[in-house]
């Protein structure tokens, strides 16, 4: 199960984080895709933005997003808290192929 702590721009429940870590690009389509390189172990939050609506899920190297996972609207920017066991993110399109951009954040 994904351990995504929500919130978006208000950071409710999230510790102070500093963005500016590695950036990841995931080109998603009708088959779930994930980041090729794992997040750094120190990463405690990620910021995500997609060019098209998609479903996302964080997890280990076997993570696969499905249409039952967290919905991310097109052009919406969100921040999610993650733990050190969740070093990958998977994305699956809702209806159109797109890009998911992920920026690592550290506490």
Q: What strand order describes the sheet that includes 88-93?
A: 33-34, 88-93, 54-59, 70-72
List the domain range (segments joined by +) for residue 57: 5-106
Local confidence pLDDT in tens for the 107 residues of the chain = 344 444 444 444 555 567 678 999 999 999 999 999 999 988 989 999 999 999 999 999 999 999 999 999 999 999 998 988 899 999 999 999 999 999 998 77
Percent of the chain as helix, strand, coil, to the nearest 5:
0, 50, 50
- Residue found under tokens 């984080």: 17
Query: Rounded to two decimals, what is the model's pTM?
Result: 0.82
Residue 106's pLDDT is what? Answer: 79
Structurally, the chain folds into a number of domains equal to 1
CATH number of the domain bearing residue 33 = 2.60.120.770
Whose tokens are 């980041």? That residue is: 35
**In angstroms, rounded to a whole number, what is the distance separating the alpha carbons of residues 46 and 80?**
5
């Amino acid at each position: 199960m994904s351990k995504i702590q929500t919130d978006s721009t208000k950071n409710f429940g999230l510790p102070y984080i500093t963005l500016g870590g590695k950036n990841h690009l995931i080109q998603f389509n009708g088959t779930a895709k994930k980041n090729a390189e794992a997040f750094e172990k120190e990463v405690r939050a990620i910021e995500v933005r997609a060019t098209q609506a998609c479903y996302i899920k964080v997890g280990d190297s076997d993570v696969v997003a499905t249409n039952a996972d967290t919905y991310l609207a097109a052009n919406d920017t969100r921040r999610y808290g993650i733990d050190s066991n969740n070093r990958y993110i998977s994305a699956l399109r809702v209806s159109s192929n797109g890009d998911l951009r992920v920026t690592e954040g550290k506490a």
